[in-house]
Amino acid sequence: MPDEITLSVYRGDKSGGQEVEYKVPIQTGMVVLDALHFIQAHDAPDLAVRWNCKAAHCGSCSAEINGSPKLLCKTRVDDYVGEVIHIRPMHSFPVIKDLVTDVSWNYEKLRQVPAFQPAIKAPFTLQQRDVDRIQEFRNCIECFLCQNICHVLRDHDAKDRYWGPRLMIRIAELEMHPLDTGDRLDLLKGAAGVGMCNITKCCTVVCPQGIDITDNGIIPLKERVADVYWDPLGGLVRKLHK
């Protein structure tokens, strides 16, 4: 293994910027975030990078490494031996400075999702099998890598028509809760725009938590929308069943 590696890091702000190269000595087990910390300590103290846990848990350090959305703290430097590591901020969100982007839009949308409306007052007991499904979604660390890669937001900037995969699994988590009485299907079909997703699965590919966003979250939501808007027969059966 060579002694040092070259990092080409985006430096700039909302008015624009470009990549700047830095040389960093490689250490065993080093992740890209470590390399950026080395740069901060030795070459560029003003390099902006957001991080908190350095353990793939807080979801703060999302960026693009050689064109692929990744967590800086979960990506090993030795995966890139023999290459220059290009590090850029997430493409789908506005740059604040260097690698830090403004992801507040996601939080705004999260606030617009009607909260959990339990059928009975807490505390209540649930069977594990009833919550297995939604616990998968609760593993989300809100890194927004899925929002970043989703072509609806990334290429078409259709934030006014689609809230993105992170928001879809937030809605799925509530809709599939065994005690929830809320109805978010109109929202889903309307403002949240589940129909904009064409199930091409890039969100699932990048999720560092391994959440099966498309198969377990978005497709079941599309089917729930189809229950109400595309299946009068099924609707009738359900009414009679009630």
Q: Report the interface residues with ligand FES, using CB under 6 A.
A: 51-54, 56-61, 71, 73
Minimal distance, residue 136 CB to ligand SF4, in Å: 10
Q: Which does 146 bind (CB under 5 to 8 A by kind): other proteins, ligand FES, ligand SF4, none?
A: ligand SF4
Instruction: Tell the residue number behind the tokens 């390399």, with chain if given.
Output: 35
Contacts for 142 with CB less than 8 Å, ≥ 6 apart: 59, 106, 166
Given the complex with other proteins, which of 10 and 22 has the nearer CB atom?
A: 10
Residue 203 CA: distances (Å) to CA of 32, 148, 157, 193 = 22, 8, 16, 16
Minimal distance, residue 71 CB to ligand SF4, in Å: 9
148: how many CB neighbours lie within 10 A of its CB? 25
Q: Which does 89 bind (CB under 5 to 8 A by kind): ligand SF4, other proteins, ligand FES, none?
A: other proteins
> Please, what sign has the CA dihedral across residues 50, 85, 92, 173?
negative
Decide: is 74 part of the binding site for other proteins (CB under 8 A). Answer: no
Minimal distance, residue 181 CB to other proteins, in Å: 10
Decide: is 225 part of the binding site for other proteins (CB under 8 A). Answer: yes
100 membership: H or E segment, kind and range:
strand 100-101
Q: Which does 195 bind (CB under 5 to 8 A by kind): other proteins, ligand FES, ligand SF4, none?
A: other proteins
CA 182 to chain CA mean position, Å: 24
